[in-house]
Amino acid sequence: MGSVLSVNAQRLVADLEALGQIGRVAAGGLSRTSFSATDTEARNWYFERCAEAGLTVVVDGLGNLIVSSPDVVPETTDRPAVWSGSHIDTVPNGGQFDGALGAIAALECLRRIHEEGIVLERPVRSIVYTDEEGSYAHLLGSSALARGYSLAELEAMNGRDGDRFVDAFTAAGGNLDAATRTKIDPATLHATVELHIEQGPTLENLGHEIGVVTGIVGLGGGSVTFRGRADHAGTTPMLGRKDALVAAGALVVAFPDLAARIGDGAVITSGVISVEPGSANVIPELVHVTVDFRHPDANQLAALEAEIRGAARAIADQYGVDVSIDLEPSIPPAPLNQGIQDLIAAAAAARGLSSSCLPSGAGHDSQNMATLAPTGMIFVPSIDGRSHCPQENTSWIDVENGANVLLDTLIQLAGS
């Protein structure tokens, strides 16, 4: 039973524990938002692990890290490669497994293939995708690989904190010209596989060890800005005010009803609201509301976006304020490759692990990679189904099982 090769679990756990200390904040979680000093620190830590293992790293124009084993048999070097990876940026005060698990497990798989001198039919590469958490744009790094960004798009991009992408990116050493030349040729990819925590309760509730992901939710987002009129909080009668925050509040309170109109699977969230001028005794003039919305069906995702746009305009009229709606192009839902799902399920069974098929309500770089090559995802259980918070946790045995199933799947995909 089991595969000829397994991960070095002790090293994998040690790496995840070490990475889990980079960006630790007083609130108990991790803050490694993209292009921040802690994100850069984590990347440098990752570079050191690659150097230690004798692996070579290429950094693309938007900071995606693409790691290869230098001793791939020459005639296979140029064959379409098998990619595996995830992200090491986090949400503010996030957890230590979201993204990190898949990024480090992929590195561990490449290390094991490299150090055992396993000769495969095509290269295996370990990837770290930039800004998966969308500090600047949902799944920024893998979107850059799949569709690329124009300079105008990058220059118009603002972060969740209101800062400009170009400023953060160049301050972190990025080159804007290179950032517009990231789109890859799908012919260079054979397949991609990502290991990730489930970030929900399904596997734990079922008591299953491995999740075979069937598809990934479609997602859209951006911001809605209401512009009212700053006035004195004490002398301005309630009737006739142009209060941008009352309008913004009306939009956020409407989210449950808007989602209910679309039905099951529709979710809408606002995680950041900024208010200007931001004084208790001034009627808010300018309010930015972030919007994150999702649905597993592309048409329903578009319908959900239309509901949000319609509600924002109607509320602006109702409260006598102006509104501007700035949403990114939505990222379509992605069905995942059935053949790779079968490989994952077989690898789990061969190791005596229970598995079940399930969709992903979280967005992942794999939904962009699925537009380029056959793509699969492996989930492991999240304790209490928690994620995007300091309580995010996964048992080390589930980490090891997930990484071994990933290794088996990669060897199957690269070996044949």
CA Rg, the chain, in Å?
22
What's the CA gap between 405 and 399, in Å, rounded?
Answer: 10
Nearer to ligand HGY, 245 or 380 (CB): 380
Residue 333 interacts with ligand HGY (CB under 6 A): yes or no: no
- Measured from the CB of residue 102, what is the shortest distance to Mn ion in angstroms? 8
Nearer to Mn ion, 94 or 249 (CB): 94
Nearer to ligand HGY, 363 or 374 (CB): 363
What's the CA gap between 223 and 359, in Å, rounded?
Answer: 27
Maximum distance among all Cα pairs of the chain, rounded to whole angstroms: 79
Q: How far is CA 274 from CA 5, 280, 288, in A?
A: 51, 14, 5
- Measured from the CB of residue 381, what is the shortest distance to ligand HGY in angstroms? 17
- Measured from the CB of residue 106, what is the shortest distance to ligand HGY in angstroms? 17
- Measured from the CB of residue 301, what is the shortest distance to ligand HGY in angstroms? 14
Q: 3-class SS at 50?
A: helix
Nearer to ligand HGY, 162 or 271 (CB): 271
- Measured from the CB of residue 364, what is the shortest distance to Mn ion in angstroms? 6
- Measured from the CB of residue 253, what is the shortest distance to ligand HGY in angstroms? 22
Nearer to ligand HGY, 247 or 266 (CB): 266
Residue 104: phi, psi to the nearest 5?
A: -80, -35
The pattern of x and - marking residues 96 through 135 that bind ligand HGY according to CB under 6 A reads: ------------------------------------xx--
How many residues line the site for ligand HGY (CB under 6 A)?
A: 4
Tokens of 317: 């009229």
- Measured from the CB of residue 286, what is the shortest distance to ligand HGY in angstroms? 26
Residues in region 130-159 near ligand HGY by CB under 6 A: 132-133
- Measured from the CB of residue 159, what is the shortest distance to ligand HGY in angstroms? 15
Q: How far is CA 192 from CA 85, 330, 370, in A?
A: 8, 22, 8
Nearer to Mn ion, 96 or 341 (CB): 96
CB 375 within 8 A of CB 14: no
Binding site for Mn ion (CB under 5 A): 98-99
What's the CA gap between 69 and 107, in Å, rounded?
Answer: 10
363 binds, among ligand HGY, Mn ion, none (CB under 5 to 8 A by kind): ligand HGY
What's the CA gap between 193 and 413, in Å, rounded?
Answer: 9
Nearer to ligand HGY, 160 or 190 (CB): 160
400 binds, among Mn ion, ligand HGY, none (CB under 5 to 8 A by kind): none
Q: How far is CA 153 from CA 148, 309, 329, 410, in A?
A: 10, 21, 11, 35
Comparing every residue's Cβ against ligand HGY, the nearest one is 362
CB 86 within 8 A of CB 107: no
One-letter amino acid at 138 equals: H
The pattern of x and - marking residues 342 through 381 that bind ligand HGY according to CB under 6 A reads: --------------------xx------------------
- Measured from the CB of residue 189, what is the shortest distance to ligand HGY in angstroms? 22
Residues 6 or more apart in contact with residue 413 via CB below 8 angstroms? 82, 190, 191, 193, 340, 343
Q: How far is CA 270 from CA 71, 256, 315, in A?
A: 48, 11, 16
Q: How far is CA 44 from CA 88, 96, 287, in A?
A: 11, 17, 37
Could you tell me how far CA 248 lies from the centroid of its own chain? 27
Nearer to ligand HGY, 170 or 202 (CB): 202
Tokens of 203: 């596997």
Nearer to ligand HGY, 34 or 412 (CB): 34
Which residues bind to ligand HGY, rule: CB under 6 A?
132-133, 362-363
